[in-house]
Amino acid sequence: MNNTPSIGSVGLTVDEVNKRVKVLCAEVFHSDKQAKSCLTEIVASNRDAGKLLSHSSARFTARVIGKNLGPIEQFSLGGILVKEEGRIRTSFGLDVVYVGGNGFDRLDPTSFSDEKKLSAAAASPATPPPEPQEVAFERLHHPVSADDVAQLVEMYKLCFTSYLVQLDETLVQTAAASSIFFVARNQDGKIIASAIGESLRVGPITLLEVSEEAAHPNLRVRGAASGCARRVIAKGKRTLTPPVVAFWEARMWRNILGMGPRVGLTEYAGVLHQHCRIASPAEFTSLSNKGEFGSLAVFYAP
């Protein structure tokens, strides 16, 4: 059983906290008609999913695997208009396609404007920062010490005013037990940054998602958080069952354009609009937030 919160699990999940229905398909699709039919059947078979999607503030989101799969055009699903929102194009002939859409009260035109800015900037990605010399990188293993747990929870609370899951001891211990978890420590041994790599085998591929990437706002060292993420990705590619698809659904904020390349994810896939509960203090102001929900930009390594 997969215990990690962001990557999810194969099949359908009704996520009441984030007011969304999530689907992850292990089948490989060869046409948009085939993908649409499968998603429609999955949602129709779950009464709770249909009930949630009837609300005007709901979201539907899915990841499907495609081979020679053309664009997934807009269609109606549970009363919500959904379409392809992004695509990860791998080097081994399979695509991971994001399909999603929102109810009327969860639409935000500014996130579509920001998406255009990202698309224009994707052709000239930022240069990764140099590795910081004054920090030590370390992989955390379960059980995590009480002191490290306290430091991580404090850092998460400073970085996020709301989040899609509870940022607490349970998350830290679960991530250390079931995921790839790296932290950066300063010369005093204090944790100043972290990143988690959640993995899941889905049909013929292994997904590796960078999540809970954070840097302590009062102890920040440039390159510490991205250094953690790069180590997560490198470790996953070395140890997980190939082929591995590494990606990051990053919060849309003012420095988002350089974040993917900083961790070695040089390709931009698309934007997941008003995807989940996620917000940060004013100094990390997001580009696209409508009330409690924030948009995420997807970066990946081909």
What domains, with CATH codes, occur in the chain?
A: 11-107 (no CATH), 136-300 (3.40.630.30)
pLDDT score recorded for residue 261: 73
Higher pLDDT, 210 or 129: 210
Q: Which of 174, 168, 221, 218 is nearest to 196 (CA)?
A: 174
pLDDT score recorded for residue 222: 83
> Tell me: the pLDDT tens digits for 104-124?
999 876 666 666 666 655 545
Q: What's the whole-model pTM score?
A: 0.92
pLDDT score recorded for residue 2: 39
Residue 80 has pLDDT above 50, yes or no: yes
Q: Determine the angle formed by the axes of helices 146-159 and 169-178, rounding to 10 degrees.
A: 110
Q: Which of 138, 90, 133 is nearest to 267 (CA)?
A: 90
**Structure confidence at residue 21 as a pLDDT band (50, 70, 90):** very high
pLDDT score recorded for residue 126: 59
Half-sphere exposure of 159 (CA within 13 A, CB side): 22
Report whether 287 contacts 253 (CB < 8 A): yes
Residue 36 has pLDDT above 90, yes or no: yes
**Structure confidence at residue 45 as a pLDDT band (50, 70, 90):** very high
pLDDT score recorded for residue 3: 43
